[in-house]
Each structure stands twice: as C-alpha cells, then as structure tokens.
C-alpha cells in the first residue's frame, strides 16, 4: 500500500466532508475563511506544551512524549491540507503525482524503517517545531511548501514516528475527527473527555490494543467507548 497517497486521499475526503467541496478556494460551506497556515502555527504552539519549557512554573514537569506524537499527527492534517490546497490552486500535479514527489524526499525515506526510532533531545525537538511554525508564517511559494514538508518529516523522525506509526496514528485521528463531526463537534455538544480520558488517548490505546483494526472497526470501538461525564 502507498501509505502517503492513502493519507493524502483520506485528508482530501475529510476536508470535502467537513468543509464542503471547493474548500481549496479558502472558504468552507458555511462561508468561514480557511487559513491552514494559522492552523499549523497554533497546533505547533500546543505541541510545545508537551515540554516543561516554562522556567517559572512546573519546573519538574516531564515531557509528554505520547501526547507529542499525537500533536505531530494533528499538525500533519494541516500540513497535508495546505499542500493539497496549494496543488489545487497551482494545478501543478495530481494527488498521485504529489505523493510520488513527496515520497522521493530524503526526509520521508528516513521514516521508512522497520526499526524503532528514538526520540531526539527536547532542545532538538523544540527547535524543529519552531522551524515548522516559522515556515508556516512566511508567504506561500513552492520553496516554502517544500521546506515545510521536509521540516515536518524531520520533526516526525525526531518524534520517533516511523512511517507505519505516522500512518496508524493519522488514520486513527482521521477516524476520530469523523467521529467528532458525527457527534456534535461543530455544534459544541461533543465532549473530548470520555470517562476521565481525552478522546485522543482513548483512540491511541484502542489502536495499541488491536493494531489490526480496520478504520470501520476503530469507528465502532469509539462508539462503544464514548462515555460523557
């Protein structure tokens, strides 16, 4: 399976369903302006809170590496959305051609390993996160898009995410996002806390307990686990 192509296609489908056809033009079906660069910036800022970086508060806070990986995958949703939007507007290539070009980058190839990866140092991780944020704030161009993709895969590598793990967590979060939309996320009636646990954590534990689940089986698992306090 071409996992990169599968993720791009899933993201296209999720955006079509959530934002409406034509979202690549920068507006949702509810006429809300879409800014993927801002999404990347803000989600990356949330990622930094996985570290005990505040020198004046919680100085003994350990780094939450498990949540860091989930946050990396959240940013991946928005990076892919920006890339898909750019490819659509520039009419440069199809999704298949886009996947083929991205898959040829050295940074992506580093993730294609069966060996477990180790986390980079906290300083290296935060520097890479800040590089992703910096790139998301500069004007869009082919060079900016290319650099952003490369930096994201470097971040994934430092975050100990192989391609298989990135794919598994991405599919999990994609299904969770669909579940959220189906259970009142936009209307504000959805709860992210299930029986004392954040829904991201429940999803991740479900995958870890049964890595062979299909996306539809994961959706059914989430339905069974959805307990609102």
Phi, psi (degrees; rounded to nearest 5) at 107: -65, -40
Looking at the structure of the chain, the number of domains it has is 1
Q: What is the CATH number of the domain that holds 64?
A: 1.10.4010.10
The verdict on residue 215 lying in a domain is: no
* pTM listed for this prediction: 0.86
Asked if pLDDT for residue 214 goes beyond 90, the answer is no
Asked if pLDDT for residue 228 goes beyond 70, the answer is no
Question: What's the token pair of residue 71?
Answer: 């946050």
Going by pLDDT thresholds of 50, 70 and 90, the confidence category of residue 213 is: confident
The verdict on residue 221 lying in a domain is: no
Q: Residue length, the chain? A: 229
The verdict on residue 155 lying in a domain is: yes
Going by pLDDT thresholds of 50, 70 and 90, the confidence category of residue 58 is: confident
Asked if pLDDT for residue 229 goes beyond 60, the answer is no
pLDDT digits (tens, 9 = 90+) for 174-211: 889 889 988 988 888 999 999 888 898 898 888 888 88
The verdict on residue 157 lying in a domain is: yes
The mean-pLDDT minimum among 59-63, 99-103, 104-108 falls in 59-63
Going by pLDDT thresholds of 50, 70 and 90, the confidence category of residue 71 is: very high
The verdict on residue 207 lying in a domain is: no
The verdict on residue 26 lying in a domain is: yes
Among the residues of the chain, which ranges form H helices? 3-19, 36-48, 65-90, 95-103, 106-109, 122-136, 142-158, 163-182, 199-209, 215-225
The verdict on residue 225 lying in a domain is: no
Domain range for 90:
3-189
The verdict on residue 216 lying in a domain is: no
Region 112-138 average pLDDT: 96
């Amino acid at each position: 399976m071409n996992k990169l192509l599968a993720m791009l296609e899933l993201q296209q489908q999720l955006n079509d369903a959530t934002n409406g056809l034509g979202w690549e033009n920068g507006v949702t079906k509810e006429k809300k302006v879409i800014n993927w660069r801002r999404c990347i910036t803000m989600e990356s800022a949330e990622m930094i809170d996985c570290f005990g970086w505040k020198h004046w508060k919680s100085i003994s806070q350990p780094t939450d590496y498990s949540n860091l990986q989930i946050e990396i995958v959240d940013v991946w949703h928005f990076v892919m959305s920006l890339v898909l939007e750019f490819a659509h507007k520039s009419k440069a290539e199809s999704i298949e051609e886009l996947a083929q070009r991205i898959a040829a980058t050295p940074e992506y190839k580093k993730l294609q390993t069966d060996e477990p990866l180790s986390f980079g140092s906290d300083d290296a991780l935060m520097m890479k996160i800040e590089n992703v944020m910096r790139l998301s704030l500069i004007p869009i161009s082919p060079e900016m898009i290319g650099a952003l993709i490369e930096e994201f895969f470097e971040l994934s590598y430092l975050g100990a995410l192989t391609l298989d793990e990135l794919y598994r967590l991405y599919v999990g979060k994609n299904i969770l996002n669909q579940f959220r939309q189906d259970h009142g996320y936009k209307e504000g009636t959805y709860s992210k806390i299930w029986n004392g646990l954040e829904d991201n954590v429940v999803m991740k534990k479900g995958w870890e307990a049964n890595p062979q689940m299909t996306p539809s089986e994961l959706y059914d698992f989430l339905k069974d686990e959805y307990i609102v306090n």
